[in-house]
Structure 1
Amino acid sequence: MIQALLVAVVAFLASIDEQTFGACMMSRPLFTGPIVGLIMGDVTTGIIIGASLEAMFMGSIMVGSAVPPEVYASSVLSIAVAIQSGTGVGTAVALALPLSIFLQMWRKFCYAIPGSWAGKQIEKAVNERNIKKANLLHLTVVPLSIGIPSALLVFVAVAFGADTINTVLNAIPTVVMDGFNVAAGVLSCVGLALLIKMMSNSKVLPYLFLGFICVIYLGMDVIGVAVAGLCIAFIAVSNMKFDTVEEEDF
């Protein structure tokens, strides 16, 4: 029960990341995987599954009006169930996509009424120039109406659904589970393709190929490429020229 409660807390914090912490990326499977693994008593498996799900959902981010499947709480639940059942990456991959779609619908359903009410109250507070009230509503009603339903679902699934989930998993043929393990590697390529698709413009894409050259032909590790990329970013920003606009008195 304590494990289920702690996993639910991780799912809650992951769910409210974008609304409260400004999408700091601490809710991604790569970060939550080791934490869930620590709670469930198997950090190594948590890291492996978290990295696999991160590669799978690498390009799944909210851009404009495009709303992707729910990645955060669904990944937490997938990792917890996979460790709990002892079946590894194949189970996590098998559960991640359907859970992410279901959790997105569940979250939207629970968020509809309080979110609509909060939106109207925030708009009213802004019109009244009551910024403190607007910020309070934005930082309480909005994230709580998203985080609590996700955390509650994860808690119930981990605390009471282990035996049922294990029964279902044991009924799945071995060949199907092997197929899911193979799909984990294929979906990693899909996640990378989604990321490249978003980066496919003449200004950004050369940096991607530069990183590819560093890894493949120069044999640099990830840390070396990251440091080199940071240096290039500093140089690019320092050389940027901005048009000065004369300030007007209002």
Structure 2
Amino acid sequence: MQWWQILLLTLYSFYQICDELTIVSSAGSPVFAGFVAGLVMGDVKTGLLIGGSLQLVVLGVGTFGGASRIDATSGAVLATAFSVAQNIDPEIAISTIAVPVAGLLVYTDILGRFTTTFFAHRVDAAIERFDYKGIERNYLLGALPWGLSRALPVFLALAFGGGLVETLVAALEEPNFAWIAAGLTLAARMLPGLGFAILLHYLPVKRNLHYLAAGFGLTAMLTVLYGNISALGGAVASIVPAVNGLIPEEAALSFTNNFKGLSMIGISIIGILLAVLHYQNARRTVVAAPVSNVESGEIEDDEF
């Protein structure tokens, strides 16, 4: 791993938590972290695979008040970096690096939280003195503990953790420990499903069960539909000797790839339409109903 890659990933780790707390541009999300780490390491595909998987893991995990949660963003950065640098299977990197790191960095998150109280007290003192420059200065300095709570562990892991990761990879490649690698791969594949389960647990599913059923049905139907179209396209392309000068195998692959994204595109369009309809219905209900009858939007006794 090159020094400039370590520097860029450290700087991004510092920025991402500040963005999450202020701008909220999604630059602090795991999938964005995977993209950035993959871009820096030269393998965007691996970065998106790891980042997207961790995004699904934390899909239903939220914070309330001052609570801390697992740092899946830093986990995505480290898992992507080591996966590309050490040639580790992305699914094994998720279970052996990303998830443990995400859990351990809860402690640095807590450290960053209570360290910022030092600057908060300085802001209070500046307010009493009507020192506006002091208020601004200490407010900005409060970002240092937050940024360092992510940047410092990432830097130390990238700079000095390569030997540990190499040892881990060598151990997993031993024939006697192949079952461990298989188990870790299975665990990584199950984690996104766990994220969906947590999300469904907290969403008002019973009240909107028809939307869940409609989405499931549409997904199943469109997947089958476009799967058959893709198979038909591959068969047609294999019969034709050449398409635009390609050999039959390349022609089939080119023809088939045109249909791979259609299923999710169709689901996205249908989802947008349903969301708009739901919003319009809710808006009409709010306008027509008395104030006392308007729903507060809180989830009560509606767990899955």
Distance change (3 Å), C-alpha of 1:134 and 1:105: same
Mapping 1:10-25, distance limit 5 Å:
10-22=12-24, 24-25=25-26
CA shift for structure 1 position 125: 7.0
The answer (yes or no) to whether the contact 1:11–1:154 under 8 Å persists in 2 is yes
Deviations 1:52-98 (A, max 9, x none): 22222322232445532122112211221222211122023211222
Q: Is the 8 A contact 1:81 1:92 kept in 2?
A: no
Corresponding residue for 1:216?
220
CA deviation after TM superposition for structure 1 residue 129, in Å:
9.3
Q: Which runs of 5+ in 2 are unaligned?
A: 224-261, 293-304
How far apart are the structure 2 equivalents of 1:244 and 1:133?
45
Q: 1:221 to 1:244 in 2, by over 3 A?
A: same
Displacement of 1:34 after TM fit? 2.2
Gaps of 5+ in 1: 246-250
Q: Which moved more, 1:141-150 or 1:96-105?
A: 141-150
Match for residue 248 of structure 1?
Answer: none
The letter of the residue matching 2:21 is Q
The 3 A distance-change label for structure 1 pair 11 and 71 is same
Give the letter aligned to residue 231 of structure 1: L
**Structure 1 residue 204: deviation in Å?**
4.5
Other-structure match for 2:194 = 190
User: Aligned-pair distance for 1:211?
Assistant: 1.9
TM-score (norm. length: structure 1): 0.81
RMSD: 3.0
Q: 1:225: how far off?
A: 2.2
Q: Distance in 2 between matches of 1:215 and 1:53?
A: 22
Superposed counterparts of 1:139-150, under 5 Å = 140-150=140-150
Structure 1 residues 12, 130: CA separation in 2 closer, same or farther (over 3 Å shift)? Answer: same
8 Å contact kept, 1:125–1:134: yes
Amino acid corresponding to residue 219 of structure 2 in structure 1: V
Structure 1 contact 12–148 (Cα < 8 Å) conserved: yes
How far the C-alpha of 1:99 sits from its partner, in A, is 0.9
Deviations 1:10-67 (A, max 9, x none): 2222222321223x43322222212211211222222222222222232223244553
Q: Matched residue pairs, number? A: 242
- Residue 29 of structure 2 is aligned to residue 31 of structure 1: no
Aligned twin of 2:230? none
Cα gap change, 1:126/1:157 in structure 2, threshold over 3 Å: closer, same or farther?
same
Shift of 1:137: 5.0
Mark the structure with the bigger radius of gyration.
Answer: 2
Q: Where do residues 235-246 of structure 1 align in structure 2 (5 Å cutoff)?
A: 235-239=277-281, 240=283, 241-242=286-287
Cα distance 1:231–1:142, how it changes in 2: closer, same or farther (>3 A)?
A: farther
Secondary structure of the structure 2 residue equivalent to 1:221: helix
Matches within 5 A, 1:66-215: 66-89=67-90, 90-113=92-115, 115-121=116-122, 137-138=138-139, 140-172=140-172, 173-215=177-219
Q: Give yes or no for contact 1:14–1:73 (8 Å, CA) kept in 2.
A: no
Post-superposition Cα deviations, 1:219-248, rounded to whole Å, max 9, x if no partner, equal: 472232223222333333333124679xxx
In structure 2, relative to structure 1, the CA distance for the partners of 1:236 and 1:121 (3 Å cut) is farther
**Number of the residue aligned with 2:62:** 61
